[in-house]
Structure 1
Amino acid sequence: MTSWALNLLGQYGAPLLGLITLASCLALPVPASLVMLTAGGFAASGDLDLPLVSAAALAGAIFGDQIGFFLGRGGQSALYRLIDRYPRRAAILTRARDLLQRGGGIGVFLSRWLFSPLGPYVNFAAGAAGLNWLRFTVWGAAGELVWVSLYVGLGYGFSHNIAAVAQFAGDISGLLAGLALMLVTGLWLRHVVREHHRKETANL
């Protein structure tokens, strides 16, 4: 799948990149981050236009987010029946819902790039939970801008060693995701403790 996508990228460029980022936002198994890195490398060598591939990747991601959101909103029961058949995906959806409940718009933003494996499921969960569409769209678009800028930019800046950059990006993404999860959990626990303390004080 990866070799096929990378070979076609040089031929079809921006339109293919847009389709790949769209598909990734619907939880389809496509190597979106690697393809964006490669597109950035092609842009550095002059084979692709940097603004065009960046815009295509961003547009595809935002459009994919919107499809996922409205699938979640319009087909809640069908979505949960489907996911219940696959325990692994059910677990991912649960994590996505937890992130959304703890962070709201910030959760949507972080799931675009820092917790990117959760992104498609946050889309579904946001729609199913009735999250405000404008809030979802603004935070989602901001997160997708970070995601696209990060990967296309790394590919452009380190075009001579895409494989090493891909490995580094994967490692640093995992590290940052862990740190961010600790931070979000800590903030949530602090909020719970404060609420508990406030209720106890009010009852005195």
Structure 2
Amino acid sequence: MTDWLLALVPQYGLWLLAATTFLSCLALPLPASILMLTAGGFVAAGDLALMPVFAAAAAGGIAGDQLGYWAGKRFGARMIARLRHDPARDKVLDRAVAIMDQRGLMAVFLTRWLFSPLGPWVNLTAGSTGYGWCKFTGAGVVGEAVWAAIYVGGGYVFAGNVAAASTMLGSVLGVVAGGAGVVILGYWLFIATRQGL
């Protein structure tokens, strides 16, 4: 399927890119990152223009995020209300909402590009827990812009060598994600230690 989609980039470039990033933000297993790298390669070759490619990739992601958020708001709220009938679950949900209120901006931002497999689920959670739409949208737009810039820019820099760009970006993002995980875990341990003293 990936090869078939890549073959369509020269013909349907911007529309294909926007549709793929849109659908990937709804948890459909599409190769959005590889498609952005390929589009960046076409930009380097002069077949596509940089700003429209970047805009299409980011706009598709932003639209997918919005649909996920509103689906969570429309359908998730009823499920949350049913779960709140149990006092134990109600406490857990209160804690989840409090965490989303405290760290929601960072969660939304990082799940657009660094921890992207979690993005669709954060969208639904944000909508269903009543997280503010303006905050969600602001963090989402910035995060999707970073995602599009990293992958379209990577394809451009590597001039279409998708394999090399994918390997390099995977390694760099893996190191960044690992470092972020260590910092977050360290912070949680520090807080837990202080509360236990």
Matched residue type, 1:168: M
In structure 2, what is the equivalent of residue 108 of structure 1? 108
- Structure 2 distance, partners of 1:176, 1:169, is 10
State the distance in 1 between where 2:171 and 2:100 align: 24
Residue equivalent to 2:174: 174
| In 1: Cα distance, 2:26 partner to 2:79 partner | 13
- Aligned CA RMSD, in angstroms, stands at 2.4
Aligned-partner Cα distance in 1 for 2:193–2:108: 24
Aligned sequence identity (%): 49
Highest RCO, 1 vs 2 (Cα 8 Å, sep ≥ 6): 2
1:156-196 per-position Cα deviation (integer Å, ceiling 9, x unaligned): 01114221111221222222212111212222333344455
TM-score (ref. length: structure 2): 0.84
In 2 relative to 1, CA 8–79 (structure 1 residues): closer, same or farther, beyond 3 Å? farther
Q: Write the distance in 1 (CA, Å) between the matches of 2:47 and 2:179.
A: 37
Give 1:45's aligned residue. Answer: 45
- Deviation of 1:61 (Å): 0.6
Kept in 2, the 8 Å contact 1:26–1:64? The answer is: yes
| Displacement of 1:107 | 1.1
Q: Specify the SS of the correspondent of 2:30.
A: coil
1:191 and 1:104, CA in 2 relative to 1: closer, same or farther beyond 3 A? Answer: farther
CA distance in 1, matches of 2:155, 2:187: 34
The one-letter amino acid of 2:136's match is F
Note the 1:58-77 alignment, pairs <5 A: 58-76=58-76
Query: Residue 100 of structure 1: CA displacement?
Result: 4.8
Unaligned runs of 5+ in 2: 81-95
User: For residues 47 and 103 of structure 2, what CA distance do their matches in structure 1 show?
Assistant: 40
Tell me, in whole angstroms, the C-alpha distance in 2 between the residues paired with 1:143 and 1:28.
Answer: 19
CA contact (8 A) 1:100 1:108 kept: no
Which sections of structure 1, spanning at least 5 residues, go unmatched? 81-95, 198-204
Matched residue SS, 1:26:
coil
| C-alpha contact 2:38 2:160 (8 A) present in aligned 1 | no
State the secondary structure of the residue aligned to 1:184: helix
Q: Any idea what SS the aligned residue of 1:150 has? A: helix
CA distance in 1: counterparts of 2:102 and 2:11, whole angstroms: 43
The Cα shift of 1:102 comes to 7.0
CA distance in 2, matches of 1:28, 1:75: 19
Cα distance change of structure 1 residues 115 and 14 upon mapping to structure 2, 3 Å threshold = same
Q: Aligned runs of 1:85-100 on 2, under 5 Å?
A: 100=100
Cα separation, 2, equivalents of 1:143 and 1:164: 24
2:161 aligns to what SS in structure 1?
Answer: helix
